[in-house]
């Protein structure tokens, strides 16, 4: 396998891990929608958005298949993504606990969404592919909206 193919395979692995995170976040929010009916719409909307994010990330495979590699994607190794994976998986397990409060769920979502934003993935990674810029801008904007929405929910539900 030549160097470029190794890079492509490595980048696909990172994209798959990020897409998996988004899919698992979608699952977590779907669980919250069932558990907290008073916030069912917010959680369901977030869950759908995260599923769409996973699908958008998967479209990046097509960019790689055309031979276009991403710049700076190597800064996001499997090891760097593992703490996020662990947080999401732990949160999914805790979502079924009868003691999980609405505020705990909102705080967890805020932590997850903030972690995604703080990673600056969509600011660091680049590509010459025009569709990447569209995907990155969409994911970045959506994540910022999610942080604001979850933060507003936290403020709203901790007041009363």
Query: pLDDT (tens digit, 9 = 90+) per residue, 57-78?
Result: 898 888 888 888 887 766 666 6
Residue 138 has pLDDT above 90, yes or no: no
Report pLDDT digits (tens) over 47-56: 999 999 999 9
Burial class from Cβ neighbours inside 10 Å (0-12, 13-18, 19+) for residue 156 reads exposed
pLDDT confidence of residue 159:
66
What tens digit of pLDDT does each residue of 2-22 get?
A: 888 888 888 888 889 889 999
Q: In terms of pLDDT, which residue wins out, 129 or 43?
A: 43
Q: What pLDDT was estimated at residue 29?
A: 97
pTM of the model: 0.86
160 — pLDDT class (breaks 50, 70, 90) = low
Mean pLDDT computed over 34-59: 94
Closest by CA to 40, choosing from 51, 25, 29, 50, is 29
Of the two residues 15 and 121, the one the predictor is more confident about is: 15
The CATH number of whichever domain residue 19 belongs to comes to: 1.20.1260
The pLDDT value recorded for residue 141 is 86
User: How many CB atoms within 10 Å of residue 37?
Assistant: 9
Q: Which of 46, 24, 47, 53 is nearest to 136 (CA)?
A: 53
| Higher-scoring residue by pLDDT: 109, 133 | 109
Tens-place pLDDT, residues 80-116 = 788 889 999 999 999 999 999 999 999 999 999 888 7
Measured CA to CA, the distance from residue 148 to residue 114 in angstroms comes to 10
Q: CA nearest 154: which of 41, 39, 25, 24?
A: 39
What contacts 24+ positions apart, CB below 8 Å, involve 141-144? Answer: 142/49, 142/53, 143/113, 143/116, 143/117, 144/117
CA 46 to chain centre: 11
71: helix, strand or coil: strand
Domain total of the chain: 1
Tell me phi and psi for residue 83, to 5 degrees: -60, -35
pLDDT of residue 88: 95
Kindly state the tokens that stand for 114.
Answer: 């903030």
State which residues form the domain around 59.
Answer: 3-159
Helices (H), the chain: 3-35, 40-65, 78-95, 102-118, 121-124, 130-159
pLDDT at residue number 61? 85
């Amino acid at each position: 396998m030549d160097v470029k193919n190794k890079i492509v395979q490595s980048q696909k692995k990172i994209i798959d891990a990020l897409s998996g995170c988004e899919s698992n976040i979608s699952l977590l929010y779907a669980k919250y929608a069932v558990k907290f009916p008073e916030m069912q719409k917010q959680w369901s909307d977030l869950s759908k958005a995260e599923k769409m994010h996973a699908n958008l990330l998967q479209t990046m495979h097509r960019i790689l298949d055309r031979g276009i590699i991403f710049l700076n994607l190597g800064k996001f190794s499997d090891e760097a993504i593992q703490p996020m994976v662990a947080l999401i998986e732990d949160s999914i397990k805790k979502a079924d606990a009868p003691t999980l409060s609405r505020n705990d769920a909102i705080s967890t979502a805020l932590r997850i969404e903030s972690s995604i934003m703080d990673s600056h993935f969509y600011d660091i990674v680049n590509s010459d592919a025009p569709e990447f810029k569209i995907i990155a801008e969409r994911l970045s904007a959506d994540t910022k909206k999610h942080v604001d929405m979850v933060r507003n929910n936290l403020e709203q539900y901790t007041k009363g």
